[in-house]
A and B are shown apart, each in its own frame.
Chain A
Amino acid sequence: MPIIIISSEDPAVEEQIAARTAKAVGFQTLGPEVLPAIAAKHAIPEPKLAESLGRTATPWWRRQAKGRQLSLACVEAEVLDRLAPDNIVCWGLGAHLYVLGISHALKARLLPDPARQIEALAGQRGVSPQKAGKLLEGARLKRAQWAQAAFGQNEMDPSMYDLIINLGQIDPDEAVGTLTTAVGYRKFQPMTYSISSLADLALAAKVKAKLLRTMNDIRVQARDGKVVVTSKALQRERRKKTAAIKSLAGEVPGVNYVEVHLINYVIRAAAESFR
Protein backbone atom coordinates (compact mmCIF):
# COMPACT_ATOMS: atom_id res chain seq x y z
CA MET A 1 0.00 0.00 0.00
CA PRO A 2 1.15 3.58 -0.61
CA ILE A 3 2.71 6.29 1.47
CA ILE A 4 1.08 9.71 1.72
CA ILE A 5 3.37 12.65 2.43
CA ILE A 6 1.62 15.80 3.51
CA SER A 7 3.34 19.15 3.75
CA SER A 8 2.15 22.64 4.52
CA GLU A 9 3.60 25.87 5.79
CA ASP A 10 1.18 25.59 8.71
CA PRO A 11 2.00 22.59 10.98
CA ALA A 12 -1.54 22.63 12.42
CA VAL A 13 -2.97 22.11 8.92
CA GLU A 14 -0.45 19.34 8.23
CA GLU A 15 -1.36 17.52 11.43
CA GLN A 16 -5.12 17.93 11.01
CA ILE A 17 -5.26 16.74 7.39
CA ALA A 18 -2.76 13.93 8.03
CA ALA A 19 -4.81 12.61 10.96
CA ARG A 20 -8.08 12.80 9.06
CA THR A 21 -6.64 11.20 5.93
CA ALA A 22 -5.02 8.41 7.96
CA LYS A 23 -8.34 7.74 9.67
CA ALA A 24 -10.21 7.71 6.36
CA VAL A 25 -7.88 5.17 4.71
CA GLY A 26 -6.93 3.23 7.84
CA PHE A 27 -3.21 4.14 7.71
CA GLN A 28 -0.79 4.94 10.55
CA THR A 29 0.53 8.48 10.95
CA LEU A 30 4.19 9.33 11.23
CA GLY A 31 4.89 12.78 12.61
CA PRO A 32 7.11 14.73 15.00
CA GLU A 33 6.13 12.38 17.85
CA VAL A 34 8.99 10.11 16.68
CA LEU A 35 11.63 12.76 17.37
CA PRO A 36 12.28 11.72 21.03
CA ALA A 37 12.97 8.13 19.91
CA ILE A 38 15.29 9.35 17.12
CA ALA A 39 17.07 11.67 19.57
CA ALA A 40 17.60 8.84 22.05
CA LYS A 41 18.84 6.39 19.41
CA HIS A 42 21.40 8.81 17.95
CA ALA A 43 22.35 10.47 21.26
CA ILE A 44 21.36 13.92 20.03
CA PRO A 45 19.54 16.27 22.44
CA GLU A 46 15.87 16.36 21.43
CA PRO A 47 15.61 20.17 21.31
CA LYS A 48 18.54 20.21 18.88
CA LEU A 49 16.81 17.69 16.66
CA ALA A 50 13.55 19.63 16.69
CA GLU A 51 15.44 22.86 16.05
CA SER A 52 17.07 21.39 12.93
CA LEU A 53 13.56 20.92 11.52
CA GLY A 54 12.48 24.32 12.83
CA ARG A 55 12.69 25.91 9.39
CA THR A 56 13.65 29.33 10.57
CA ALA A 57 17.37 29.97 10.15
CA THR A 58 19.12 31.47 7.16
CA PRO A 59 20.66 29.08 4.64
CA TRP A 60 24.21 30.28 5.36
CA TRP A 61 23.81 29.55 9.07
CA ARG A 62 22.37 26.14 8.30
CA ARG A 63 25.12 25.21 5.91
CA GLN A 64 27.79 26.11 8.40
CA ALA A 65 26.43 24.02 11.24
CA LYS A 66 27.81 20.50 11.07
CA GLY A 67 25.68 19.46 14.06
CA ARG A 68 22.52 20.45 12.28
CA GLN A 69 23.51 18.54 9.16
CA LEU A 70 23.97 15.47 11.34
CA SER A 71 20.60 16.01 13.04
CA LEU A 72 18.86 16.28 9.67
CA ALA A 73 20.65 13.19 8.35
CA CYS A 74 19.55 11.20 11.41
CA VAL A 75 15.92 12.33 10.97
CA GLU A 76 16.08 11.46 7.26
CA ALA A 77 17.53 8.00 7.92
CA GLU A 78 14.99 7.16 10.61
CA VAL A 79 11.99 8.49 8.70
CA LEU A 80 12.94 6.59 5.54
CA ASP A 81 13.36 3.45 7.64
CA ARG A 82 9.91 3.90 9.17
CA LEU A 83 8.28 4.49 5.79
CA ALA A 84 9.32 1.04 4.52
CA PRO A 85 6.26 -0.84 5.86
CA ASP A 86 3.91 1.48 3.80
CA ASN A 87 0.33 2.37 4.76
CA ILE A 88 1.64 5.52 6.39
CA VAL A 89 0.65 9.18 6.31
CA CYS A 90 3.80 11.20 7.05
CA TRP A 91 3.78 14.85 8.11
CA GLY A 92 5.94 17.41 9.92
CA LEU A 93 9.27 15.67 9.25
CA GLY A 94 10.22 17.35 5.97
CA ALA A 95 9.80 14.04 4.11
CA HIS A 96 8.60 15.82 0.95
CA LEU A 97 12.16 17.11 0.58
CA TYR A 98 14.02 13.80 0.71
CA VAL A 99 11.55 11.11 -0.37
CA LEU A 100 12.33 11.58 -4.05
CA GLY A 101 11.58 9.37 -7.02
CA ILE A 102 9.41 6.93 -5.07
CA SER A 103 6.39 6.17 -7.22
CA HIS A 104 4.23 4.79 -4.40
CA ALA A 105 4.58 8.01 -2.37
CA LEU A 106 1.75 10.48 -2.99
CA LYS A 107 3.04 13.94 -2.21
CA ALA A 108 0.46 16.57 -1.38
CA ARG A 109 0.92 20.19 -0.36
CA LEU A 110 -1.82 22.03 1.48
CA LEU A 111 -1.97 25.78 1.26
CA PRO A 112 -3.67 27.27 4.31
CA ASP A 113 -6.37 29.91 3.92
CA PRO A 114 -4.32 33.16 3.76
CA ALA A 115 -7.14 35.29 5.17
CA ARG A 116 -7.47 33.06 8.23
CA GLN A 117 -3.72 32.90 8.68
CA ILE A 118 -3.42 36.69 8.59
CA GLU A 119 -6.35 37.12 10.98
CA ALA A 120 -4.92 34.59 13.43
CA LEU A 121 -1.43 36.08 13.36
CA ALA A 122 -2.73 39.66 13.66
CA GLY A 123 -4.77 38.63 16.72
CA GLN A 124 -1.94 36.64 18.25
CA ARG A 125 0.74 39.34 17.83
CA GLY A 126 -1.54 42.37 18.11
CA VAL A 127 -0.44 43.77 14.74
CA SER A 128 -2.30 45.12 11.72
CA PRO A 129 -3.39 42.68 8.97
CA GLN A 130 -0.86 44.30 6.60
CA LYS A 131 1.96 43.71 9.07
CA ALA A 132 0.74 40.15 9.68
CA GLY A 133 0.74 39.56 5.90
CA LYS A 134 4.34 40.75 5.67
CA LEU A 135 5.37 38.57 8.61
CA LEU A 136 3.80 35.53 6.94
CA GLU A 137 5.55 36.32 3.67
CA GLY A 138 8.87 36.62 5.52
CA ALA A 139 8.31 33.30 7.28
CA ARG A 140 7.45 31.65 3.94
CA LEU A 141 10.69 32.93 2.43
CA LYS A 142 12.72 31.66 5.38
CA ARG A 143 11.14 28.22 5.12
CA ALA A 144 12.01 28.11 1.43
CA GLN A 145 15.61 29.06 2.30
CA TRP A 146 15.69 26.37 4.97
CA ALA A 147 14.49 23.71 2.50
CA GLN A 148 17.11 24.79 -0.01
CA ALA A 149 19.93 24.76 2.53
CA ALA A 150 18.91 21.60 4.36
CA PHE A 151 18.00 19.35 1.44
CA GLY A 152 18.82 21.36 -1.71
CA GLN A 153 15.15 21.48 -2.74
CA ASN A 154 12.86 24.31 -3.71
CA GLU A 155 9.79 23.60 -1.64
CA MET A 156 7.77 26.22 -3.57
CA ASP A 157 8.26 24.36 -6.86
CA PRO A 158 4.86 22.87 -7.77
CA SER A 159 6.52 20.04 -9.70
CA MET A 160 7.64 18.56 -6.35
CA TYR A 161 4.08 17.55 -5.54
CA ASP A 162 1.43 15.38 -7.15
CA LEU A 163 -1.34 17.55 -5.77
CA ILE A 164 -1.53 21.02 -4.26
CA ILE A 165 -4.78 21.94 -2.57
CA ASN A 166 -5.60 25.46 -1.46
CA LEU A 167 -7.76 25.43 1.65
CA GLY A 168 -8.78 29.03 1.03
CA GLN A 169 -11.71 27.87 -1.07
CA ILE A 170 -11.57 24.08 -0.83
CA ASP A 171 -13.02 22.56 2.30
CA PRO A 172 -10.67 20.36 4.43
CA ASP A 173 -13.18 17.48 4.17
CA GLU A 174 -12.98 17.70 0.42
CA ALA A 175 -9.18 17.84 0.54
CA VAL A 176 -9.20 14.64 2.61
CA GLY A 177 -11.62 13.08 0.09
CA THR A 178 -9.34 14.01 -2.81
CA LEU A 179 -6.30 12.51 -1.07
CA THR A 180 -8.06 9.29 -0.18
CA THR A 181 -9.32 8.91 -3.76
CA ALA A 182 -5.89 9.63 -5.23
CA VAL A 183 -4.10 7.18 -2.99
CA GLY A 184 -6.36 4.41 -4.24
CA TYR A 185 -5.08 4.79 -7.81
CA ARG A 186 -3.02 1.95 -9.19
CA LYS A 187 -0.01 4.17 -9.91
CA PHE A 188 0.50 4.74 -6.18
CA GLN A 189 0.61 1.04 -5.36
CA PRO A 190 4.08 -0.17 -4.32
CA MET A 191 6.02 -2.10 -6.93
CA THR A 192 9.26 -4.04 -6.58
CA TYR A 193 11.24 -1.17 -8.10
CA SER A 194 9.71 1.57 -5.95
CA ILE A 195 10.15 -0.51 -2.78
CA SER A 196 13.80 -1.13 -3.59
CA SER A 197 14.28 2.58 -4.44
CA LEU A 198 12.95 3.49 -0.98
CA ALA A 199 15.28 0.93 0.61
CA ASP A 200 18.20 2.47 -1.34
CA LEU A 201 17.31 5.97 -0.12
CA ALA A 202 17.11 4.67 3.47
CA LEU A 203 20.49 2.92 3.20
CA ALA A 204 22.14 6.02 1.72
CA ALA A 205 20.70 8.15 4.52
CA LYS A 206 21.97 5.73 7.19
CA VAL A 207 25.49 5.79 5.73
CA LYS A 208 25.39 9.59 5.51
CA ALA A 209 24.27 9.88 9.14
CA LYS A 210 27.10 7.55 10.19
CA LEU A 211 29.79 9.45 8.23
CA LEU A 212 28.63 12.93 9.28
CA ARG A 213 29.58 12.11 12.87
CA THR A 214 33.26 12.40 11.94
CA MET A 215 33.42 14.27 8.64
CA ASN A 216 31.84 17.03 6.52
CA ASP A 217 30.71 17.43 2.91
CA ILE A 218 29.34 13.97 2.38
CA ARG A 219 27.07 12.85 -0.44
CA VAL A 220 25.88 9.27 -0.59
CA GLN A 221 24.05 7.23 -3.21
CA ALA A 222 23.04 3.60 -2.79
CA ARG A 223 21.75 0.85 -5.04
CA ASP A 224 21.11 -2.74 -4.02
CA GLY A 225 23.64 -2.61 -1.17
CA LYS A 226 26.33 -0.83 -3.23
CA VAL A 227 27.15 2.58 -1.81
CA VAL A 228 28.93 5.47 -3.54
CA VAL A 229 30.29 8.16 -1.21
CA THR A 230 31.46 11.50 -2.59
CA SER A 231 33.46 13.88 -0.43
CA LYS A 232 36.36 16.35 -0.50
CA ALA A 233 39.95 15.75 0.59
CA LEU A 234 43.46 17.16 0.23
CA GLN A 235 45.80 15.15 -1.97
CA ARG A 236 47.83 13.92 1.00
CA GLU A 237 44.72 12.85 2.94
CA ARG A 238 43.08 10.83 0.17
CA ARG A 239 44.24 7.35 1.13
CA LYS A 240 43.48 7.84 4.82
CA LYS A 241 40.05 9.33 4.17
CA THR A 242 39.09 6.61 1.68
CA ALA A 243 39.96 3.93 4.21
CA ALA A 244 38.04 5.72 6.96
CA ILE A 245 34.93 6.09 4.78
CA LYS A 246 35.07 2.45 3.67
CA SER A 247 35.45 1.25 7.22
CA LEU A 248 32.63 3.39 8.67
CA ALA A 249 30.20 2.82 5.81
CA GLY A 250 30.90 -0.91 5.87
CA GLU A 251 29.64 -1.05 9.45
CA VAL A 252 26.12 -0.06 8.37
CA PRO A 253 23.92 -3.16 8.03
CA GLY A 254 22.95 -3.79 4.40
CA VAL A 255 26.09 -2.30 2.85
CA ASN A 256 27.87 -4.83 0.60
CA TYR A 257 30.29 -2.64 -1.30
CA VAL A 258 31.59 0.92 -0.84
CA GLU A 259 33.01 3.11 -3.60
CA VAL A 260 34.62 6.41 -2.59
CA HIS A 261 34.98 9.44 -4.85
CA LEU A 262 37.13 12.19 -3.41
CA ILE A 263 37.20 15.63 -4.98
CA ASN A 264 40.28 17.79 -4.46
CA TYR A 265 39.73 20.29 -1.65
CA VAL A 266 40.81 23.29 -3.74
CA ILE A 267 40.07 26.07 -1.24
CA ARG A 268 41.77 24.31 1.69
CA ALA A 269 44.73 23.37 -0.51
CA ALA A 270 45.09 27.00 -1.62
CA ALA A 271 44.82 28.23 1.97
CA GLU A 272 47.48 25.77 3.14
CA SER A 273 49.86 26.71 0.33
CA PHE A 274 50.07 30.26 1.78
CA ARG A 275 51.23 29.01 5.19
Chain B
Amino acid sequence: MAIITISRGSYSMGKAVAEQVAACLGYTVISRDLLLDASTRFHVSEIKLIRAIHDAPGILERLSHSRQAYLAYIRAALTERVRDGNVVYHGLAGHLLLKGIPGVLKVRITADLERRVENEMQREGISAQEARDIILKDDNQRRGWTKSLHGVDPWDSNLYDLVVRIGALTVADAVSFICEAARSEGFRTTDKSLQPVKDLALACRIKAELVEEFPTVGVTCQYGNVIVYTREKGTGGSRLHKRIEALSKEIQGVFNLEVHSSENFPADAV
Protein backbone atom coordinates (compact mmCIF):
# COMPACT_ATOMS: atom_id res chain seq x y z
CA MET B 1 0.00 0.00 0.00
CA ALA B 2 1.31 3.35 -1.06
CA ILE B 3 2.32 6.67 0.39
CA ILE B 4 0.74 9.50 -1.58
CA THR B 5 1.69 13.17 -1.34
CA ILE B 6 -0.61 15.71 -2.91
CA SER B 7 0.81 19.14 -3.55
CA ARG B 8 -1.57 21.94 -4.44
CA GLY B 9 -2.03 25.66 -4.64
CA SER B 10 -4.67 27.20 -2.42
CA TYR B 11 -8.25 26.72 -3.74
CA SER B 12 -7.10 24.21 -6.37
CA MET B 13 -9.42 21.50 -5.03
CA GLY B 14 -6.40 19.49 -3.86
CA LYS B 15 -7.89 18.96 -0.40
CA ALA B 16 -11.06 17.46 -1.87
CA VAL B 17 -8.95 15.22 -4.12
CA ALA B 18 -6.81 14.06 -1.17
CA GLU B 19 -9.82 13.26 0.99
CA GLN B 20 -11.58 11.34 -1.77
CA VAL B 21 -8.41 9.40 -2.65
CA ALA B 22 -8.02 8.42 1.01
CA ALA B 23 -11.67 7.38 1.20
CA CYS B 24 -11.40 5.38 -2.01
CA LEU B 25 -8.25 3.52 -0.93
CA GLY B 26 -9.07 3.33 2.77
CA TYR B 27 -5.98 5.36 3.67
CA THR B 28 -5.39 7.88 6.44
CA VAL B 29 -5.32 11.57 5.51
CA ILE B 30 -2.60 13.72 7.02
CA SER B 31 -2.61 17.47 6.68
CA ARG B 32 -2.24 20.31 9.15
CA ASP B 33 -2.96 17.98 12.07
CA LEU B 34 0.64 16.97 11.56
CA LEU B 35 1.69 20.35 12.93
CA LEU B 36 -0.28 19.66 16.10
CA ASP B 37 1.64 16.41 16.47
CA ALA B 38 4.96 18.17 16.05
CA SER B 39 3.89 21.00 18.35
CA THR B 40 2.93 18.62 21.17
CA ARG B 41 5.91 16.35 20.80
CA PHE B 42 8.62 19.01 20.55
CA HIS B 43 6.97 21.71 22.69
CA VAL B 44 6.90 24.41 20.02
CA SER B 45 3.91 26.64 19.38
CA GLU B 46 1.87 25.65 16.34
CA ILE B 47 1.98 29.15 14.92
CA LYS B 48 5.79 29.04 14.76
CA LEU B 49 5.60 25.75 12.88
CA ILE B 50 3.00 27.13 10.47
CA ARG B 51 5.20 30.14 9.75
CA ALA B 52 8.23 27.89 9.25
CA ILE B 53 6.46 25.81 6.64
CA HIS B 54 4.44 28.53 4.95
CA ASP B 55 6.30 31.85 4.82
CA ALA B 56 9.47 32.45 2.84
CA PRO B 57 12.33 33.07 5.30
CA GLY B 58 13.45 36.64 5.96
CA ILE B 59 17.11 37.73 5.96
CA LEU B 60 17.58 37.31 9.72
CA GLU B 61 15.84 33.94 9.71
CA ARG B 62 18.24 32.68 7.08
CA LEU B 63 21.08 33.35 9.49
CA SER B 64 19.44 31.72 12.50
CA HIS B 65 18.75 28.01 12.86
CA SER B 66 15.26 28.24 14.33
CA ARG B 67 13.47 27.53 11.06
CA GLN B 68 15.74 24.53 10.45
CA ALA B 69 14.77 23.20 13.86
CA TYR B 70 11.03 23.67 13.20
CA LEU B 71 11.34 21.91 9.85
CA ALA B 72 13.22 19.06 11.49
CA TYR B 73 10.34 18.69 13.98
CA ILE B 74 7.75 18.70 11.20
CA ARG B 75 9.72 16.22 9.13
CA ALA B 76 10.17 13.93 12.13
CA ALA B 77 6.42 14.02 12.83
CA LEU B 78 5.58 13.37 9.16
CA THR B 79 7.99 10.48 8.65
CA GLU B 80 6.71 8.91 11.87
CA ARG B 81 3.14 9.07 10.56
CA VAL B 82 3.93 7.64 7.09
CA ARG B 83 6.30 4.88 8.21
CA ASP B 84 3.67 2.15 7.84
CA GLY B 85 2.30 3.33 4.49
CA ASN B 86 -1.40 3.71 3.56
CA VAL B 87 -1.41 7.47 3.90
CA VAL B 88 -2.30 10.52 1.83
CA TYR B 89 -0.46 13.68 2.86
CA HIS B 90 -1.75 16.94 1.44
CA GLY B 91 0.06 19.47 3.58
CA LEU B 92 2.86 21.68 2.36
CA ALA B 93 5.93 20.30 0.61
CA GLY B 94 5.25 16.62 1.25
CA HIS B 95 7.15 15.64 -1.88
CA LEU B 96 10.21 17.45 -0.50
CA LEU B 97 9.90 16.42 3.14
CA LEU B 98 9.71 12.77 2.03
CA LYS B 99 12.45 13.18 -0.56
CA GLY B 100 14.64 10.13 -0.98
CA ILE B 101 11.94 7.56 -0.20
CA PRO B 102 11.34 5.28 -3.17
CA GLY B 103 7.78 4.45 -4.18
CA VAL B 104 6.11 7.64 -2.91
CA LEU B 105 3.42 8.70 -5.41
CA LYS B 106 3.91 12.44 -5.79
CA VAL B 107 0.90 14.24 -7.21
CA ARG B 108 0.25 17.89 -7.97
CA ILE B 109 -3.22 19.29 -8.45
CA THR B 110 -3.48 22.53 -10.39
CA ALA B 111 -6.43 24.64 -11.47
CA ASP B 112 -6.86 27.71 -13.63
CA LEU B 113 -6.36 30.96 -11.72
CA GLU B 114 -9.88 32.13 -12.59
CA ARG B 115 -11.42 28.94 -11.20
CA ARG B 116 -9.40 29.33 -8.00
CA VAL B 117 -10.49 32.97 -7.71
CA GLU B 118 -14.10 31.87 -8.11
CA ASN B 119 -13.69 29.21 -5.38
CA GLU B 120 -12.16 31.71 -2.96
CA MET B 121 -14.81 34.34 -3.69
CA GLN B 122 -17.54 31.85 -2.91
CA ARG B 123 -15.89 30.58 0.24
CA GLU B 124 -14.75 33.88 1.73
CA GLY B 125 -17.42 36.21 0.30
CA ILE B 126 -14.85 38.65 -1.10
CA SER B 127 -14.39 40.46 -4.42
CA ALA B 128 -12.58 38.93 -7.39
CA GLN B 129 -9.68 41.36 -7.05
CA GLU B 130 -9.22 40.59 -3.35
CA ALA B 131 -9.40 36.86 -4.03
CA ARG B 132 -6.86 37.13 -6.87
CA ASP B 133 -4.47 39.17 -4.69
CA ILE B 134 -4.70 36.63 -1.85
CA ILE B 135 -4.10 33.66 -4.15
CA LEU B 136 -1.16 35.25 -5.95
CA LYS B 137 0.42 36.33 -2.64
CA ASP B 138 -0.02 32.82 -1.27
CA ASP B 139 1.48 31.27 -4.41
CA ASN B 140 4.48 33.60 -4.20
CA GLN B 141 5.02 32.77 -0.52
CA ARG B 142 4.96 29.04 -1.25
CA ARG B 143 7.28 29.38 -4.22
CA GLY B 144 9.66 31.54 -2.19
CA TRP B 145 9.62 29.07 0.70
CA THR B 146 10.36 26.05 -1.49
CA LYS B 147 13.00 27.83 -3.52
CA SER B 148 14.83 29.20 -0.48
CA LEU B 149 14.82 25.95 1.49
CA HIS B 150 14.99 23.27 -1.17
CA GLY B 151 16.32 25.18 -4.20
CA VAL B 152 13.47 23.99 -6.44
CA ASP B 153 10.35 25.54 -7.89
CA PRO B 154 7.17 23.76 -6.73
CA TRP B 155 5.65 24.60 -10.14
CA ASP B 156 8.26 22.36 -11.84
CA SER B 157 6.37 19.30 -13.09
CA ASN B 158 9.53 17.17 -12.95
CA LEU B 159 9.12 16.99 -9.16
CA TYR B 160 5.91 14.96 -9.48
CA ASP B 161 4.75 11.64 -10.88
CA LEU B 162 1.38 12.96 -11.93
CA VAL B 163 0.05 16.48 -12.45
CA VAL B 164 -3.69 16.86 -12.97
CA ARG B 165 -5.32 20.15 -13.93
CA ILE B 166 -8.81 20.52 -12.57
CA GLY B 167 -10.80 22.10 -15.36
CA ALA B 168 -11.80 19.76 -18.14
CA LEU B 169 -10.86 16.99 -15.70
CA THR B 170 -12.92 16.93 -12.52
CA VAL B 171 -12.02 16.08 -8.92
CA ALA B 172 -13.53 12.61 -9.45
CA ASP B 173 -11.36 12.07 -12.56
CA ALA B 174 -8.23 13.09 -10.65
CA VAL B 175 -9.19 10.73 -7.81
CA SER B 176 -9.64 7.86 -10.24
CA PHE B 177 -6.21 8.47 -11.90
CA ILE B 178 -4.44 8.70 -8.55
CA CYS B 179 -6.09 5.57 -7.17
CA GLU B 180 -5.23 3.65 -10.33
CA ALA B 181 -1.59 4.76 -10.12
CA ALA B 182 -1.39 3.96 -6.39
CA ARG B 183 -2.61 0.42 -7.04
CA SER B 184 0.03 -0.20 -9.71
CA GLU B 185 3.07 -2.38 -9.14
CA GLY B 186 5.55 0.53 -8.91
CA PHE B 187 3.83 2.03 -5.86
CA ARG B 188 2.92 -1.15 -4.04
CA THR B 189 4.67 -1.16 -0.68
CA THR B 190 6.28 -4.22 0.85
CA ASP B 191 8.27 -4.69 4.06
CA LYS B 192 11.39 -4.19 1.97
CA SER B 193 10.16 -0.99 0.36
CA LEU B 194 8.99 0.40 3.73
CA GLN B 195 12.45 -0.09 5.27
CA PRO B 196 13.84 3.19 3.80
CA VAL B 197 10.79 5.00 5.24
CA LYS B 198 11.46 3.52 8.68
CA ASP B 199 15.13 4.44 8.40
CA LEU B 200 14.26 7.98 7.33
CA ALA B 201 11.80 8.28 10.22
CA LEU B 202 14.52 7.24 12.66
CA ALA B 203 17.08 9.62 11.15
CA CYS B 204 14.55 12.47 11.26
CA ARG B 205 13.69 11.70 14.89
CA ILE B 206 17.36 11.81 15.91
CA LYS B 207 17.95 14.99 13.92
CA ALA B 208 14.91 16.58 15.61
CA GLU B 209 16.28 15.65 19.03
CA LEU B 210 19.70 17.13 18.22
CA VAL B 211 18.85 20.14 16.08
CA GLU B 212 18.35 22.69 18.85
CA GLU B 213 21.75 22.07 20.45
CA PHE B 214 23.62 20.96 17.33
CA PRO B 215 21.93 22.58 14.33
CA THR B 216 24.56 21.64 11.78
CA VAL B 217 24.72 17.88 12.28
CA GLY B 218 23.59 15.47 9.56
CA VAL B 219 22.02 12.08 10.22
CA THR B 220 21.76 8.93 8.11
CA CYS B 221 20.21 5.59 9.01
CA GLN B 222 20.29 2.18 7.38
CA TYR B 223 18.52 -0.79 8.96
CA GLY B 224 18.69 0.91 12.37
CA ASN B 225 22.41 1.75 12.07
CA VAL B 226 22.55 5.49 12.65
CA ILE B 227 25.48 7.75 11.78
CA VAL B 228 25.55 11.33 13.02
CA TYR B 229 27.85 13.53 10.93
CA THR B 230 29.48 16.58 12.43
CA ARG B 231 31.97 19.06 10.99
CA GLU B 232 33.78 19.32 14.35
CA LYS B 233 37.01 17.36 14.57
CA GLY B 234 37.33 14.11 16.53
CA THR B 235 33.92 12.78 17.43
CA GLY B 236 32.36 16.21 17.69
CA GLY B 237 33.03 17.01 21.34
CA SER B 238 31.98 15.35 24.55
CA ARG B 239 28.62 17.17 24.74
CA LEU B 240 27.44 15.66 21.44
CA HIS B 241 28.85 12.31 22.43
CA LYS B 242 26.98 12.25 25.72
CA ARG B 243 23.74 13.35 24.08
CA ILE B 244 24.03 10.61 21.48
CA GLU B 245 24.72 7.95 24.06
CA ALA B 246 21.57 9.00 25.88
CA LEU B 247 19.56 9.00 22.65
CA SER B 248 20.65 5.49 21.68
CA LYS B 249 19.11 4.25 24.93
CA GLU B 250 16.06 6.50 24.71
CA ILE B 251 14.90 5.87 21.13
CA GLN B 252 13.55 2.51 20.10
CA GLY B 253 14.78 0.85 16.92
CA VAL B 254 18.37 2.17 17.07
CA PHE B 255 20.65 -0.76 16.47
CA ASN B 256 23.93 1.13 16.52
CA LEU B 257 24.71 4.85 16.78
CA GLU B 258 28.02 6.39 15.72
CA VAL B 259 29.44 9.86 15.30
CA HIS B 260 31.56 10.63 12.24
CA SER B 261 33.55 13.79 11.72
CA SER B 262 33.47 14.90 8.10
CA GLU B 263 33.53 18.12 6.06
CA ASN B 264 31.16 16.70 3.47
CA PHE B 265 27.97 14.94 4.55
CA PRO B 266 26.39 12.24 2.37
CA ALA B 267 23.73 13.57 0.00
CA ASP B 268 20.97 11.61 1.75
CA ALA B 269 21.85 12.89 5.23
CA VAL B 270 18.93 14.53 7.06
Contacts and interface: CB of A to CB of B under 8 A. Distances in A.
Interface of A: 103, 106, 109, 111, 114, 156-159, 161-166, 168-171, 174, 177-178, 181-182, 185, 187-188
A114 B110 CA distance: 23
Given A158-B155, A170-B186, A185 B163 contact: no
Given A159-B112, A174-B180, A178-B177, A169 B167 contact: no
B3 to A, nearest CB: 12
Given A174-B180, A178-B180, A162 B167 contact: yes
26 contacts: A106-B168, A109-B157, A111-B157, A156-B156, A157-B155, A158-B108, A158-B165, A159-B165, A162-B165, A162-B168, A163-B163, A163-B169, A166-B158, A166-B161, A166-B162, A169-B105, A169-B186, A170-B186, A171-B185, A174-B184, A178-B181, A181-B180, A182-B177, A185-B168, A185-B173, A187-B170
B176 A181 contact: yes
A161 B166 CA distance: 10
Interface of B: 103, 105, 108, 110, 112-113, 155-158, 160-165, 167-170, 173, 176-177, 180-181, 184-187
B156 A170 contact: no
Q: Is the interface of A mostly helix, strand, loop or mixed?
A: mixed
Contacts of B187: 169
B177 A159 contact: no
Contacts of B185: 171
B128 to A, nearest CB: 19
A14 B222 CA distance: 39
A140 to B, nearest CB: 9
Contacts of A177: 180
B110 A111 contact: no
Given A158-B163, A165-B161, 11 more contacts: A158-B110, A158-B157, A159-B112, A162-B168, A163-B169, A165-B162, A169-B105, A169-B187, A170-B162, A171-B184, A174-B180
A5 to B, nearest CB: 13
A114 B158 CA distance: 9
For the complex of A and B, 10 pairs with smallest distance between CB atoms: A164-B163, A166-B161, A187-B168, A164-B157, A169-B161, A158-B157, A158-B163, A169-B186, A158-B110, A162-B165
A169 B105 CA distance: 8
A168 to B, nearest CB: 7
Nearest to A178: B177
Contacts of B177: 163, 178, 181-182
Most buried by A among B165, B180, B186: B165
A117 to B, nearest CB: 11
A161 B167 CA distance: 10
A159 B184 contact: no
B186 A171 contact: yes
Contacts of A185: 168-169, 173
B165 A161 contact: yes
Contacts of A188: 168
B164 to A, nearest CB: 6
Most buried by A among B112, B113, B158, B185: B158
Contacts of B173: 182, 185
A169 B159 CA distance: 11
A174 B186 CA distance: 10
Contacts of A169: 103, 105, 161, 186-187
A171 B161 CA distance: 11
A187 B184 CA distance: 26
B169 to A, nearest CB: 6
A106 B163 CA distance: 14
